[in-house]
Structures are given as C-alpha cells and as structure tokens.
C-alpha cells in the first residue's frame, strides 16, 4: 500500500507585537487564504491580553462576536481557524485554581470553533528545573480539554539563537529533547530557524532540528515581520530579493508572522507562496524581480503596484525615508493620491509614523 503523502500547511500566524490587524483585515486575509490549498489562520496577536497576561479572564462579548465571525469565515472558506494561547507565567504556580482557569479558557475557545490550538510558551522564562516536564503537563491537560483537531506547541526556546537565553534565561540541559520526548508525537512544534528572525532555512539545519525534536518542525517564519526595534521603520515587501528559501519536504508547514501593515503583508505573503511553489516544482532559475513586479501589479493595480515596485527596496533599507530633502513628503504625496486603495493606505500610515516600536517586544 502506498504511503499517504502528508499535506504541507501554509498560512498566517498573527503573532507580532505592536498595533494588531483590524477585524476587516483579518477577514480579507482569510478570503485570500481560501484560494490556497492546506491553509490556516492562527489568531495570536500580542496585543490580545485575554490570550496572554489576562488569560484567566473571559473575553468581552464584543471580542467574542468578532472571533465568531472570523471562525465562521474560516469555516466557509475552507481555512483552518487557529488561536494561539500563552498561559503567561503559569509556571509560577500550576495549582488547582490555575488548572481550573486554564480549563475555562480552553472551553471558551472550543465554543468559538477553534480547529487548531497553539499553546505558546514563548515570551516567558524557562530557566528552571523541570520546565520541560511542567510544560508537557500543561499541554497534556489542554489536549484533554480541547476540541481542536490539531494541537501545536511553541517551546520557550524555539530557535538555536543564543539571544533567547539572554532574554529568558539559560535553557536547562536537554530541555527540547525532554519536552518533545514527553509530548504526543502528533503535536506540531514551532521553530523559527537558526535565528529568531531567519532569512532562510537550510536542509542541514532542518535535518538536525528534526532529529532533536523527533518530528519535522513547523516553521514560524519571522523574516517578514517588522515589530522588532531594528525593523519597525522598515517594510519587508519582497522576500524574493533576499533569497528566502524553505525546503518544504523537511518541515510540516510554515506559519508566516508578517508586518503590522495588513494589506502590504498579504502582498508579501503572495510572494512567499510563489517562492515556495517555485522552489518545489520548477528547476528553472527564479526571476525574483519579475515575480515581485507581477505580484504587485496583480494585487495592488497598475498605479499603486507600480509605486510599490519603485519604492520597495528603499522602504526596506532606508526606513521611513529621511525628510531633510523633501523626499519623504514627495513619496507620501504619491501614495496619498491613491489612499482609497488598501495598500496605498498602509504605506501612508507607515510613512506618517502610525506604526511605532512596542517596548514589550524584548527579543530584538
């Protein structure tokens, strides 16, 4: 009997710091993902306190209604609907009251129709004895309560980047091996690569991670995000220009954590997906400039798309563009002439300084 080929999942994890996407942008993202195979949307904005520091509290009715609409849109478009839950500082005291509070949160998420549940232990300390065992215990409890058909885990140390130990404490010896040995082998484990923000992924690195985790990693890709201190004033629109690659056969999927600017993020997502498809189906050399240009024109139209093609490299390298010579005002005027268009509006808001660094982002 032939071995069943497992699908490679690709989608969005809204997992960045700073200003989150609004609900209409999230629905637009799901509409696009519905045109692609094996797609998902994981709602996990750092700004949602009810999934993080206030996870013990129920959602306000106003947020619940939006999440139900998002869940229904995912269902109608054939997109898996996920939520990322960070039981913040649960390691301090996982006693019976904490366990009951966690149960209530999972039941609340069940009622929203969550089909993928990501349990996220990032952004909290892990430098204590028994951290792997405690996190595995929490995950096992959640697995017994959730109605989601896919369970995912982000460990505290989700990359081989030494930066994580500088921020969250020294990783206990054998932490990853112990954690992934204890948990169910069907649980996906997020991994960001050799760095917290990895420009690409090599086969040698993913092979090593596979052996370490006892499963193919599920890539959490931060290369297109701009919430870090060094990246807030830049737009990452064209991953093709930096040589982004991912050997798809060595990962179980990829979750793109994108920019604070939603519609520009969806534009770059199309380029990422084009790179994935091309790398795994074509032997011809990639014309990255042509891929980016055609994507911009198709998505944003001739006028705005043409402006983005013109300015993308400078937006990436020079930040919001210096105003001393009037260049910034000139560029802003170009986009203001088309501000009714979503991508142009994103650029205008970015140039005006709407998106600023969130100091809660500690890692970069």
In DSSP notation, 114-153 reads -SEEEEE-TTS---STTHHHHHHHHHHHHHHH---SEEEE
Q: Is 254 contained in some domain?
A: yes
In the chain, beta strands by DSSP E: 9-14, 39-43, 80-85, 116-120, 150-154, 188-191, 218-221, 253-256
Question: Per-residue pLDDT averaged across 228-234, rounded?
Answer: 90
**CA-CA-CA-CA torsion sign (169, 172, 177, 179):** negative
Q: Is the pLDDT of residue 279 over 70?
A: no
CATH number at residue 45: 3.20.20.80
Question: What pLDDT digit, counting tens, does each position of 172-218 carry?
Answer: 999 999 999 999 999 999 999 999 999 999 999 999 999 999 999 99
Do residue 261 and residue 340 come from a single domain? Answer: no
pLDDT for res 322: 63
Greater confidence (239 vs 278) lies with 239
Which of 245, 262, 281 corresponds to the end of one domain?
A: 281
Do residue 306 and residue 187 come from a single domain? Answer: no
Question: Per-residue pLDDT averaged across 271-279, rounded?
Answer: 85
Average pLDDT, the chain: 93
Do residue 181 and residue 215 come from a single domain? Answer: yes
pLDDT for res 240: 87
Catalytic residue, from 48, 122, 123, 334: name it. 123
Do residue 164 and residue 310 come from a single domain? Answer: no
Do residue 259 and residue 330 come from a single domain? Answer: no
Q: Is 83 contained in some domain?
A: yes
Q: Is the pLDDT of residue 1 over 50?
A: no
Q: Is the pLDDT of residue 3 over 60?
A: no
Question: What pLDDT digit, counting tens, does each position of 31-76 carry?
Answer: 999 999 999 999 999 999 999 999 999 999 999 999 999 999 999 9
Do residue 340 and residue 252 come from a single domain? Answer: no
Q: Is the pLDDT of residue 156 over 50?
A: yes
Specify the 3-state DSSP secondary structure of 218: strand
DSSP assignments along 53-82, one per residue? TTTTSPPPHHHHHHHHHHHHHHHHHT-EEE
Domain span holding position 316: 288-351
Can you give the pTM of this predicted structure? 0.95
- Does residue 358 carry a catalytic annotation? no
Q: Which residues contact 238 (CB under 8 A, 6 or more apart)?
A: 268, 271, 288, 292, 312, 313, 316
Do residue 122 and residue 221 come from a single domain? Answer: yes
Question: Per-residue pLDDT averaged across 318-344, rounded?
Answer: 84
Please give the tally of structural domains in the chain. Answer: 2
């Amino acid at each position: 009997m032939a071995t069943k080929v497992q699908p490679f999942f690709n989608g969005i994890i809204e997992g960045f710091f700073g200003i989150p996407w609004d609900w209409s942008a999230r629905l637009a993202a799901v509409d696009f993902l519905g045109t692609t195979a094996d797609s998902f949307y994981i709602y996990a904005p750092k700004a949602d306190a009810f999934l993080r520091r206030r996870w013990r509290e129920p959602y306000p009715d106003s947020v619940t209604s939006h999440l139900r609409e998002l869940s229904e849109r995912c269902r109608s478009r054939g997109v898996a609907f996920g939520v990322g839950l960070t039981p913040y500082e649960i390691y301090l005291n996982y006693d019976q009251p904490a366990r009951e509070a966690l149960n209530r949160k999972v039941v609340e998420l069940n009622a929203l129709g969550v089909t993928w549940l990501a349990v996220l232990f990032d952004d909290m300390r892990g430098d204590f004895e028994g951290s792997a065992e405690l996190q595995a215990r929490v995950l096992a409890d959640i697995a017994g309560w959730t109605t989601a058909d896919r369970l995912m885990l982000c460990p505290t140390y989700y990359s081989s980047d030494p930066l994580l130990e500088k921020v969250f404490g020294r990783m206990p010896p054998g932490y990853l091996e112990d954690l992934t040995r204890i948990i169910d082998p069907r649980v996906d484990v997020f991994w960001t690569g050799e760095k917290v923000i990895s420009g690409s992924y090599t086969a040698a690195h993913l092979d090593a991670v596979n052996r370490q985790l006892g499963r193919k990693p599920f890539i959490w890709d931060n290369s297109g995000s701009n919430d870090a201190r060094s990246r807030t004033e830049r737009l990452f629109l064209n991953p093709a220009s930096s040589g982004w690659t991912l050997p798809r056969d060595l990962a179980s999927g990829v979750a793109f954590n994108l920019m604070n600017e939603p519609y520009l993020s969806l534009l770059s997502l199309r380029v990422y997906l084009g790179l994935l498809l091309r790398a795994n189906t074509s032997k011809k050399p990639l014309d990255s400039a042509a891929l980016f240009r055609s994507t911009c024109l198709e998505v944003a139209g001739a006028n705005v798309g043409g402006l983005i093609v013109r300015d993308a490299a400078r937006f990436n390298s020079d930040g919001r563009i210096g105003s001393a010579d009037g260049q910034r005002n000139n560029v802003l005027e170009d986009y203001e002439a088309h501000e009714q268009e979503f991508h142009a509006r994103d650029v205008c808001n970015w140039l005006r300084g709407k998106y600023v660094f969130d100091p809660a982002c500690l890692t970069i």
